[in-house]
Amino acid sequence: MCSSDLSTDAAHAFPAAWRPSVEAPWQRCGQGTAAVSCFSFYANKTITTGEGGMAVMDDPDLAARMKLMSLHGMSRDAWDRYSGEGSWDYRIVAPGYKYNMTDVAAALGIVQLARAEEMRRRRDEIAQRYLRGLAGVNAIELPPDPKDRLHSWHLFPVRLRLERLRIDRNAFVEEMRKEGIGFSVHWRPLHLHPYYTETFGWQPESCPIATALWQRLVSLPIFASQTDAEASRVIEVLTDLCRRNAV
């Protein structure tokens, strides 16, 4: 999650939370975080509308402005003109955009919102299973799970301790693929993408820490419908891979 005084990019964070102490109430991501917090509801996020997202804020004037600008800059009456009490007429009052969510996507999202905590809890169960099952594998660095956080567990990234393995990350994930384990790698640093290399001349040594971390990253499968048996299979495969390739 990236934030500033004005906006928070919380694309993967819903419905995460934090608290300053065990006695304090939980504060949800987007609750007093910034002037605007933005969430993504793409198909692989913690909840989905298929495409699109949500911006939350505690400022009625800002909310009205964003609503206005999201649909061509139409006056607010335009949103209600198809209702029984709405007017057929509308006005363009600002040079707006076409950023409105479709009704079908919104209908899907309403149901997903109702299940958001249920699905987060299930992802947390899978995460805890990984944390326990891989705790003794010394070639893997597990993600932190502090007690003052409710993690969204959108991803479960691990860092390979390459100095303890005879293979690199790419060979490691190829072995996972052969065993039928789904995985991904998050994320290739910007300075390693062709556009930035070709446009600005950036090289791996331009950001040495990001480059080194990128070479160690693997994201394990984690999703709300994942079974205990599937998670156990991931643990079994990773444990065996690290054992067979240990230095």
Q: Which of 150, 183, 160 is nearest to 246 (CA)?
A: 160
**13 burial type by CB count under 10 A (0-12 exposed, 13-18 middle, 19+ buried):** buried
Contacts of 95 by beta carbon, 8 Å cutoff, 6+ apart: 73
Catalytic residue status for 45: yes
Tokens of 169: 């990350």
Query: Which member of 45, 67, 147, 178 is catalytic?
Result: 45
Q: Which residues pair with 9 in a beta bridge?
A: 2, 38
Supply angle C-alpha 82, 87, 92, rounded to 5. Answer: 95
- Please work out, in degrees rounded to the nearest 5, the angle formed at the alpha carbon of residue 42 by the alpha carbons of 178 and 110: 125
Strands (E), the chain: 2-3, 7-9, 17-18, 27-28, 36-40, 53-56, 140-141, 149-150, 156-160, 217-220
- Residues belonging to the active site: 45
